[in-house]
Amino acid sequence: MLEEKNPSLNSIENLGEFGLIDHLTKAIPTQLKSTEKGIGDDAAVIDLGKKQTVISTDMLVEGIHFHLGYMPMKHLGYKSVIVNLSDICAMNATPTHITVSISVSSRFSIEALEEFYAGIALACKTYNVDLVGGDTVASTKGMTISVTAVGAAEKKNLVYRDGAKEGDLLVVSGDLGAAFLGFQILERERQVFEANPQHQPDLDQYTYLIERQLKPEARKDIPELLAALEVKPTSMIDISDGLASEIKHLCKQSKVGCRLYEDKIPLDPAMISTCEEFSLDSTTVALSGGEDYELLFTISQDDYDKVKGNPNLTIIGHMGGVADGEYLVTRSGEAIKLKAQGWTAF
């Protein structure tokens, strides 16, 4: 018998994902001197001596984070690792190890799980990380994946979300919004296929967008690039929930405001043309789409000359005082309050 919902109890929806995390963990303080950074950033940091150990974990749930109607198992294995390695890179650290735990129902064959782990193996080889543990349990329905990523960095090189200063420049790697468009294309084709199983889609023109959704890459190269340029970010975060949401995280934790300039947001031509096809605003998609797994960070104005013109990086705004608020400056010069409309877990 199902338990009836008690109307006097608070709903998870009232708090949202991050509010729920804060609520559940606020009464559990850290106790050990070795805990350098606990809950509240892209990854935890443990001081075990010469180098800092960086740890992050994420779960992926079938029907919420992925749909096996268009997500090949090998791609799913690869992506499950990448989304966690991205958090390690966002700490300006180097990923080294992972553990993978899964729960699966009996509808999954051994061959399907072999494909899943082949994707994990490819990610490990590509990023030079080792799979060192995990767990496999039965499930009554579907598939759930939990990956924990471990990395290392010297203490002086670590970057948190709370270090941005008034006047810092806001910088992003790569381009934005393509992964969301890839998702829209795959969802459209899934619905068409369910209505007409004989339909054979031609997706050649969407190759880049679909790849950004099914096979994203963690920007391990960016911390390496910044080190070569002798630039240490003042704050950093990866873009998993949408550009606007991540900017607001940096602002909140650093206690600053920001100005984001619409005409500076990097967009791929295929993303722009597909937005027109779907009657979507490209700026809205870039702000709220999510799953780009690019790195968003702030740097001192003194480092401007070191990053300007670099094809991997784009300066998209600057940070202000907390009283200045968080605004998007449109192409026409109008300042619009920045809203986080990206992914929410509940």
Identify the sign of the CA torsion 201, 204, 205, 206. Answer: positive
DSSP annotation of 66 reads: B
Lowest-pLDDT range of 29-38, 212-221, 268-277? 29-38
- Residue 88 in contact with residue 151, Cβ under 8 Å? yes
Return the pLDDT at 246.
Answer: 97
Residue 95 has pLDDT above 80, yes or no: yes
32 pLDDT tier (thresholds 50, 70, 90): low
pLDDT tens digits, 114-141: 999 999 999 999 998 988 888 888 888 8
Q: Which fold has domain 169-337?
A: Phosphoribosyl-aminoimidazole Synthetase; Chain A, domain 2 (3.90.650)
28 pLDDT tier (thresholds 50, 70, 90): low
Identify the sign of the CA torsion 92, 98, 103, 106. Answer: positive
Return the pLDDT at 276.
Answer: 97
Residue 24 has pLDDT above 70, yes or no: no
Annotated domain spans of the chain: 33-157, 169-337
The closest of 44, 40, 27, 61 to 345, measured between CA atoms, is 61
pLDDT tens digits, 194-223: 788 877 777 899 999 999 999 999 999 999
Return the pLDDT at 192.
Answer: 83
Q: Which fold has domain 33-157?
A: 60s Ribosomal Protein L30; Chain: A; (3.30.1330)
Lowest-pLDDT range of 34-38, 65-69, 253-257, 262-266? 34-38
Return the pLDDT at 1.
Answer: 45
Residue 150 has pLDDT above 60, yes or no: yes
The whole-angstrom separation of Cα 297 and Cα 226 is: 11
- Residue 115 in contact with residue 72, Cβ under 8 Å? yes
What rounded mean pLDDT belongs to the chain?
90
Return the pLDDT at 250.
Answer: 98
In degrees, to the nearest 5, what angle opens at C-alpha 241 toward C-alphas 254 and 39? 50
Return the pLDDT at 323.
Answer: 96
- Residue 103 in contact with residue 143, Cβ under 8 Å? yes
pLDDT tens digits, 47-85: 877 788 999 999 999 988 999 989 999 999 999 999 999
Return the pLDDT at 346.
Answer: 43
Residue 314 has pLDDT above 90, yes or no: yes
The whole-angstrom separation of Cα 115 and Cα 117 is: 5
Return the pLDDT at 343.
Answer: 52
